[in-house]
Amino acid sequence: MAVDAKEVLAVTETIALVDDDSNLLTSVAISLEAEGFKVETYSDPTEALESLLRRPVDLAVLDIKMPGLDGIQLLERLRQRTDLPVILLTSKVAEMDEVLGLSRGADDYITKPFSQRLLLERIRAVLRRRAPAGAGAGSGDTGEVLRRGDMILDPGRHMCTWKGASVSLTVTEFLLVLALARRPGHVKSRDQLIDAAYGEHIYVDDRTVDSHVKRLRKKFRDVDPDFSEIETLYGVGYRFRAP
């Protein structure tokens, strides 16, 4: 795969690939390394879990269909301890896997078979979304701390608190609540939220946003059972309740 010098500048991120298909691991690793990434590969998901918790990477790509500990289970165990960005690999016939993966905290998914260029684009998109403000983050992200009632969002440190308690959010979840909280009372359509969380050049469907919002609400309600700031306007979209 040809290397675009403009895209590889200062790339030092480490990507973990977890799949029981050794041929896929080898080919994807070669492609990512050619683009300047460091790559760690795992064919054993249990080994991957132990390693990722002990020595975190910048992003993990997990296959869902693996013997023993499958990709969804691996994702769930990672989410208990870390907000590591995760992209899932699913089969075209397993739509429920996609929904389940997103509801468990995945940031994105790609269906097999996939082009390695598409995977590279999705990896870069998630990493850009995770970047500190001013270092390639999404447009309009000033990095300023945002306070909305009992909620504080700090984009520069990727931190969120509600009533003083920390709320651990994934990349996508953080960008969604940030997009909603910037203009309380204003409705954001699903398309607008997709653009805010994924960028204008990445396609995901509406259920992806719905799954992320559902998980967002659960995380806030784990801290405060009365949390109701994220409102649904059926057929329109979502909004952050105005003070």
Give per-residue pLDDT as tens, 163-188. 999 998 888 889 999 999 999 999 99
Interior angle at CA 195, CA 171 and CA 65, nearest 5? 55
Say how many domains are in the chain: 2
193 exposure class (CB count in 10 Å sphere: 0-12, 13-18, 19+)? buried
Which residue range is the domain that position 81 belongs to?
5-130
Residues 122 and 29 in one domain: yes
Task: Determine contact, residues 137/143, Cβ cutoff 8 Å.
Answer: yes
Residues 108 and 25 in one domain: yes
Q: Is residue 207 predicted with pLDDT exceeding 70?
A: yes
Provide the pairing of β-strand 159-162 with 59-63: unpaired
Instruction: Tell me the β-bridge partners of 233.
Output: 237
CATH of the domain at 64: 3.40.50.2300
Does the pTM surpass 0.85? The reply is no
What's the pLDDT at 1? 43
Q: Where are the alpha helices (DSSP H) in 69-114?
A: 71-79, 95-103
* Domain boundary pick from 130, 154, 177: 130
The 10s digit of each residue's pLDDT in 54-66 is 998 999 999 998 9
Residues 151 and 74 in one domain: no
